[in-house]
């Protein structure tokens, strides 16, 4: 039983997230997602549109995901890997090199991001559409 773990906010789910989760799950037999809590997002200077509970419900429903745990701090990765018997840590290559310290405990894999889509861009598009709609009304 090879266990894979990945971390993220996963706000406003899109194909980039799904591509990451599908490839991560394909590396092992079960995938754990450590989902950033609302408080941790604040610490990451990231505001999610959807609450933790909302994002958790969405991520849990994805066929590639076997378990969702909260990500409350940067430091929990070592204990998560040990506690859950993780064999492979996976994250997008926008984090290339940031988590190499985990190589003493498990395999560390940085997967190429899906280009041309991000939650930030989606939120910006939504805001622009809302502004246009107000101008036209
Ligand atoms: N991702 C991707 N392609 C995109 C957008 C995101 O592959 N177009 C990947 C990211 O690289 C990350 C995952 O999807 O591996 C989740 O992305 P975010 O929710 O933006 O995660 P992030 O805020 O980077 O949180 O401790 C680690 C952090 O919690 C990572």
**pLDDT tens per residue across span 106-116:** 999 999 999 99
3-state helix, strand, coil in the chain (%, to 5): 45, 20, 35
Alpha carbon separation from 129 to 9, 13, 84, 122 (Å, rounded): 24, 19, 43, 11
pLDDT, one tens digit per residue, over 11-62 is 999 999 999 999 999 999 999 999 999 999 999 999 899 999 999 999 999 9
- What average pLDDT score do residues 3-17 get? 97
Q: For ligand 1, which residues put their CB under 6 angstroms from it?
A: 7-10, 16-17, 20, 36, 44, 46, 71, 91-92, 94, 113-114, 117-118
pLDDT given at position 120: 86
pLDDT given at position 102: 98
User: Which one-letter DSSP state was computed for residue 48?
Assistant: -
Positions annotated as catalytic residues are: 44, 46
CATH architecture assignment, domain 3-136: 3-Layer(aba) Sandwich (3.40)
Q: How far apart are CA 38 and CA 9, in angstroms?
A: 9
pLDDT given at position 39: 97
pLDDT given at position 119: 87
For ligand 1, the distance from its centroid to the CA atom of residue 120, given in whole angstroms, is: 11
- Strand 3-8 versus strand 88-92 pairing type: parallel
């Amino acid at each position: 039983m090879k266990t894979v773990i990945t971390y993220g906010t996963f706000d406003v789910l899109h194909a980039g997230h799904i591509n990451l989760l599908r490839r991560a799950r394909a590396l092992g037999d079960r995938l754990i997602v450590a989902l950033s809590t609302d408080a941790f997002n604040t610490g990451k200077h990231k505001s999610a549109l959807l609450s933790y509970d909302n994002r958790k419900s969405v991520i849990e429903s994805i066929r590639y995901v076997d378990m969702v745990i909260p990500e409350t701090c940067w430091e929990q990765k070592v204990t998560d890997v040990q506690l859950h018997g993780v064999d492979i840590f996976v994250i997008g290559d926008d984090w290339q090199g940031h988590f190499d310290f985990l190589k003493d405990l498990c395999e560390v894999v940085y997967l190429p991001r899906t280009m041309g889509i991000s939650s930030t861009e989606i939120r910006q598009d939504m805001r622009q559409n809302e502004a246009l709609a107000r101008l036209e009304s």
